[in-house]
């Protein structure tokens, strides 16, 4: 046994217990610290949010790229539409110009055709006037040179006498006398006086005898207007460049100069 076993220690004796209130306060402070730490944890998490934001950035960038591509596609589509519309407009304008050119060409062609037709009509009228003038000159010369009573003698005088007696009577289509006649009805009635039977119509009378030249007419020759076989009017030459005929409803039976209306041809039946 130690010598100092029964000697009281020189150290101050440990107090059996501390103030309970102190211990309670220390414990409460620790718990409060833990509570504050726990409450601060979400804030720390929120402060670390940029890390999460960094994760989501690719999604935002992808959406932005997609939107940009859509805008580009829309712009290209609009450009294509505008180009197509411009092409259609240009084609329409070209078609209008071509139609205008065609209309102008057609109008010019019609104008030239009308001018050519007018020139042709004028030339034909001039030729016809020249022909009529030549015929009038020939007829006048022949009538002056010929005798009043050529071959036929009394028959021709009887024929001409009858025709002159009918001058002043009326013209009626289809009439054959004695108070009215049409052109072929008068000719038929006149030749009946000297025993010659003629066809009823102008067309048939224009081929009833021998065709003779207008430059070699004799009194009693049948004059016709129109073609031989298709004549539309007849009269009788009485000499000295004159004829008798039933002309139309306004004049009736008349004696006129050949210059009044030169005939187309003549036939001789005497």
30-43 residue pLDDT tens: 445 554 455 555 44
Q: Where are the domains of the chain?
A: 66-145, 149-268
* Distance (Å, whole) CA 183 – CA 175: 9
pTM: 0.47
| pLDDT < 70 positions in the chain | 1-61, 128-153
Please state which architecture CATH assigns to domain 149-268: Alpha-Beta Complex (3.90)
* Distance (Å, whole) CA 153 – CA 143: 17
Are 269 and 196 spatial neighbours (Cβ–Cβ below 8 Å)?
A: yes
* Distance (Å, whole) CA 170 – CA 113: 46
164 Cβ contact list (under 8 Å, min separation 6): 238, 244, 255
Give the pLDDT confidence score for residue 117 in this predicted structure: 85
Give the pLDDT confidence score for residue 23 in this predicted structure: 52
């Amino acid at each position: 046994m130690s010598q100092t076993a029964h000697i009281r220690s020189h150290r101050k004796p440990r107090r059996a217990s501390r103030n309970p209130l102190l211990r309670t306060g220390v414990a409460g402070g620790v718990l409060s610290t833990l509570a504050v730490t726990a409450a601060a944890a979400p804030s720390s998490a929120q402060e670390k949010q940029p890390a999460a934001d960094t994760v989501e950035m690719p999604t935002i960038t992808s959406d932005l790229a997609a939107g940009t591509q859509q805008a580009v596609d829309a712009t290209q589509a609009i450009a294509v539409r505008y180009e197509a519309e411009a092409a259609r407009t240009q084609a329409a304008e070209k078609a209008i110009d071509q139609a205008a050119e065609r209309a102008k060409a057609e109008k010019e062609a019609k104008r030239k055709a009308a001018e050519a037709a007018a020139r042709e009509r004028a030339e034909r009228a001039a030729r016809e006037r020249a022909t009529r003038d030549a015929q009038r000159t020939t007829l006048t010369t022949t009538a002056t040179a010929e005798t009043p009573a050529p071959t036929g003698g009394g028959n021709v005088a009887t024929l001409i006498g009858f025709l002159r007696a009918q001058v002043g009577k009326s013209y009626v289509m289809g009439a054959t006398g004695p108070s009215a006649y049409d052109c072929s009805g008068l000719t038929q009635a006149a030749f009946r006086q000297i025993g010659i039977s003629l066809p009823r119509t102008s067309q048939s009378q224009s081929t009833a005898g021998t065709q003779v030249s207008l430059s070699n007419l004799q009194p009693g020759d049948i004059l016709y207007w129109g073609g031989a076989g298709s004549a539309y009017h007849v009269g009788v030459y009485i000499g000295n460049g004159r004829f008798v005929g039933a002309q139309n409803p306004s004049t009736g039976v008349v004696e006129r100069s050949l210059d009044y209306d030169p005939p187309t041809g003549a036939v001789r039946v005497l």
